[in-house]
Structure 1
Amino acid sequence: MARNTERRAALVDAAVAVLAREGARGLTFRAVDAEAAVPVGTASNYFTDRDDLLNQVDSHLHRRLAPVPAVLARLLEAPRDRALVLEFMRDLVARAIRDRTGYLALFEMRLEATRRPALRASYTASVRGDLEQAMEFHRDAGLPGGDPTVAVLYLAVLGLLLEHLTLPGVLEGVLPGVAVPDALLERIVTTIVPEDRAGDGNSDRA
């Protein structure tokens, strides 16, 4: 297989764009070549098959959508309370909005995983790994609440992103006076995350 890492990265980014715009059915090597503006047949030199391409997209998106280390370091200078959890969630939502294409591709990956057993197994492991990493980060940072808090927060914010990035009109105006996504995100965090600090004896980790 070809080993030009820059060309491979460009092809994977092109695959992300195609996946977000056309859905999984439109993700062909020819479509990736066209999106990347490279000669026909280039993608087939870098990926063994469609499953390989989808796995590469998964790995690439996890790096592309990851938080910026400097931003995490700055946020961690603040007190470890519910307000800090809200700031982390604001950063997550802001990254999703900035890279809407990347997040739409993630949603398409979920749908495609329901149809392809091999992808379902690998993508389940990938997403579960992210959730477990988030739980570990929450614990190590001493943030309020425990693993169940993180799990419920994950589900709530995932739902918010799904609506806001795909059908924003569903939530707009339904809750008068509640701005989407900012005020709604704050409501989610306030509802789910306890005020106490983790380790103060009121954690729901168990």
Structure 2
Amino acid sequence: MARNPERRAALVDAAAVVLAREGARGLTFRAVDSEAGVPVGTASNYFADRDTLLNQIDTRLHERLAPDPAVIEELMAAPKDRSLVLASMRDLLSRATRDRTGYLALLELRLEATRRPALRASYTKSVRRELELGMRFHREAGLPGDDETVALLYLSVLGLLLEHLTLPDVLTGIVPDADVPDALLERIVNTIVPEGRPNTPCGTLQGQGTTP
């Protein structure tokens, strides 16, 4: 049976909405059909099972949350110092905030991966690939710090996004400017990323990782 790629993408986007709103237990083919506004049975014609659908959501969301090549080109025209790392992290924060549903769906995928060994294996591979891409980008751009710097940024920004997109009031009144994620992001970068830049030659840049 022929498959329509535009309809497949629309179904996966609808599935991401359901996953973010209802969690993995609410992610049924019927719910996806309803969210997409298509006849009952459409999603089951496109995806063999829930594991296939979950993997498609992973792939689709990394595409949606990927940095704009034009933005990367503009960023890379700036000096290769800590301020560029901050600008890059601000772009990531902006992308995740604009597509809050997509990022929440990624968080739900993490939780579901703890229950599904096959999803855990594929999702671990997916996230690790993005992290390694970010490390490669950092090295080839000649940005200050090393792979450990990028790993620490990954862990810290992941925590910031988790709080900001789920429980933004947790730190209010405890940490100064807790309700201003950009201010927290600047502190994270200034704490983790050293000043200056390493003596690393620039190579051909392939772009950043998608998201923590």
* Pair 1:33–1:177, CA change in 2 (3 A): closer
Return the offset for 1:180.
2.1
* Pair 1:30–1:155, CA change in 2 (3 A): same
User: Partner amino acid for 1:87?
Assistant: A
* Pair 1:35–1:2, CA change in 2 (3 A): farther
Normalised to the residue count of structure 2, the TM-score between the two structures is 0.92
Return the offset for 1:172.
2.5
Alignment of 1:10-89 (within 5 A): 10-89=10-89
Q: Does 1:131 align with 2:131?
A: yes
Q: Determine the C-alpha separation between the residues in 2 that align with 1:140 and 1:173.
A: 40
Number of residue pairs matched? 200
Return the offset for 1:179.
4.9
User: Partner amino acid for 1:152?
Assistant: L
Alignment of 1:170-181 (within 5 A): 170-177=170-177, 179-181=179-181
Query: Structure 1 stretches of 5 or more lacking a match?
Result: 201-206
Return the offset for 1:3.
1.3
Equivalent residues of 1:171, 1:180 under 8 A apart: no
Return the offset for 1:177.
4.4
Aligned to 1:188: 188
Equivalent residues of 1:33, 1:42 under 8 A apart: yes
- More RCO (CA 8 Å, sep 6+): 2
User: Partner amino acid for 1:139?
Assistant: R
Return the offset for 1:120.
0.3
Give the match's secondary structure for 1:115: coil
Normalised to the residue count of structure 1, the TM-score between the two structures is 0.95
**Percent of residue pairs bearing the same amino acid type:** 75
Q: Determine the C-alpha separation between the residues in 2 that align with 1:41 and 1:119.
A: 24
Aligned to 1:116: 116
Equivalent residues of 1:2, 1:45 under 8 A apart: no
User: Partner amino acid for 1:191?
Assistant: T
Deviations 1:132-174 (A, max 9, x none): 0000000011100000000000000000000000000112232
Aligned to 1:203: none
Question: More displaced, 72-81 or 1-10?
Answer: 1-10
Equivalent residues of 1:172, 1:180 under 8 A apart: no
